[in-house]
Amino acid sequence: MNMASSKVLFIIKSKSKLQFQFLILHSCLLLSLSYTTNNGFHSIDLESLSHSSSCNHHPSTGKPSKPPTPSTIQVYTPCPPLPLTADDARVRSIQAKVRRATTSDAFNDVKATLPAHLGIGNYAVTVSLGTPPKSLSLNFDTGSDLTWTQCQPCSGSCYPQDDPIFDPSSSTTYSKIQCAAPQCSTLRLSPGVFATCAVTDCNYRLQYGDRSTSAGEFSKDTLTLTPDDTVPDFLFGCGQENRGLFVKSAGLLGLGRDAISIVSQTEKKYGKYFSYCLPSTPSSTGHLTFGKTGSPSSGVAFAPFANSRGTSFYFLDITGISVAGQELSIDRTIFTTAGNLIDSGTVITRLPATAYGALSQAFQEGMTSYPRAPPTTLLDTCYDLSNFTTVTLPRIAFTFAGNLKVNLDFYQMLSIHSIQQVCLAFAANQNDQDVGIFGNIQQRGLEVVYDVAGGNIGLGPGGC
């Protein structure tokens, strides 16, 4: 995965400067961007910009990013995304969860907080539930375990969603989990999930980092991943009281390590092995694949999972960061003290404050030809590129445990708010003791392979 050059060259061609005013995180504009790599440089052509017609939960066009198999689902970007303040809420929730799992502190104010947030920068898949199967768009999340969807009747409230709300009375294979059933006991042990009993039925309640909630009946039904691939008696939450910023998705598909996640529920079928590629733009598609469908892409290299620290998160140790081909002088204990996890639902990568400071400073030293721009709420290393047609960026690379090195490209380095405000897509934790998170901007376009049973994670270019 290593590249010979330490610089990235972006050549921008447009008929006017206005044509380059686009958003990746805060808009649903289609960025028609093609580029080639030559002698270690990326040549970027931004000639065509238009409003996206694929910013929805059921794209009717687009080919899967890899050959379809019985267990491969198309991944797409739901729109519109929400402000990054919600991403911050998710990060605080994850960090509180990790602290609570590794300390004796009570953390009474976060006991009801599931470390997840839907809607911002999340990625979605379309699956079906019930018999006959009803199509549902679900955000998938490696930081969550319980899969849930909105259900009729909405006894409290249901938020607007694109799909018809699932009606369990219309499914011949639906049933509620009883309080005395062992599945209810399993639910009670799941981190962040509160299980209660209403007479004989097992109920659940989740509260997310931004105070969004889902509550309802713990149930089972047939889950259809593709027409050729079904999961009978799949355990899920049938949510009848749901509030929050869910961007019209029907719910969530939980990919965490806990016993109630889809990864664990399908262990006998898929061997706790899944992979995905997150599309770089709303116009492109990725994939979510369960099970081994052959050898990983030739460019995929593996690193061992780090200790999960009593949580269902996937921890992956960072051992170094380089900018412009130079390893940053960061004491490795900065990374190992708090640890680092990889998360499909966090947008902006969070680093220990010391590590982020070194990264930002080195990036600025490679960007002295370009004027600075005002910071955003979350991002502080920003530039005004309105007077340039060619932009040269210092290459950023991350090294993980096992000497797994990942070079980042244009999509994975920058958050582009407008031509006047292009920002480095990383942020600092409040201190070096907070867990780091490798977010989904940096994962875009990568093949990300989770060999949970084998204790390894794989990363490689060209996933979609």
Is 50 exceeded by the pLDDT of residue 57? no
Which of 65, 37, 36, 39 lies closest to 284, judged by CA?
A: 65
Which distant-in-sequence residues (6+ apart) come within 8 Å of 155 by Cβ? 240, 241
Query: What is the rounded distance in angstroms from the CA atom of residue 168 to the CA atom of residue 411?
Result: 41
pLDDT by residue (tens digit) across 352-398?
Answer: 999 999 999 999 999 998 999 999 989 999 999 888 878 888 899 99
Is 80 exceeded by the pLDDT of residue 429? yes
Residue 48's pLDDT is 31
Confidence of residue 13 (pLDDT cuts 50, 70, 90): very low
Q: Give catalytic residue positions.
A: 141, 343
Average pLDDT, the chain: 80
Residue 280's pLDDT is 79
Distance of CA 75 to the CA centre of its chain: 11
pLDDT above 90 as % of the chain: 50
Residue 88's pLDDT is 79
Query: What is the rounded distance in angstroms from the CA atom of residue 361 to the CA atom of residue 324?
Result: 12
Residue 202's pLDDT is 96
Task: Please check whether residue 409 is in contact with residue 10, taking contact to mean a CB–CB distance below 8 angstroms.
Answer: no
Burial 446-462 (b: 16+ CB within 10 A, else e): bbbbbbbeeebbbbbee
Pairing of strands 134-141, 326-327: unpaired
Domains and CATH numbers, the chain: 72-290 (2.40.70.10), 299-460 (2.40.70.10)
The model's pTM: 0.85
Confidence of residue 1 (pLDDT cuts 50, 70, 90): very low
pLDDT by residue (tens digit) across 69-86?
Answer: 668 888 877 655 555 667
Residue 28's pLDDT is 35
Is 60 exceeded by the pLDDT of residue 18? no
Region 156-177 average pLDDT: 94
Residue 364's pLDDT is 96
Residue 68's pLDDT is 58
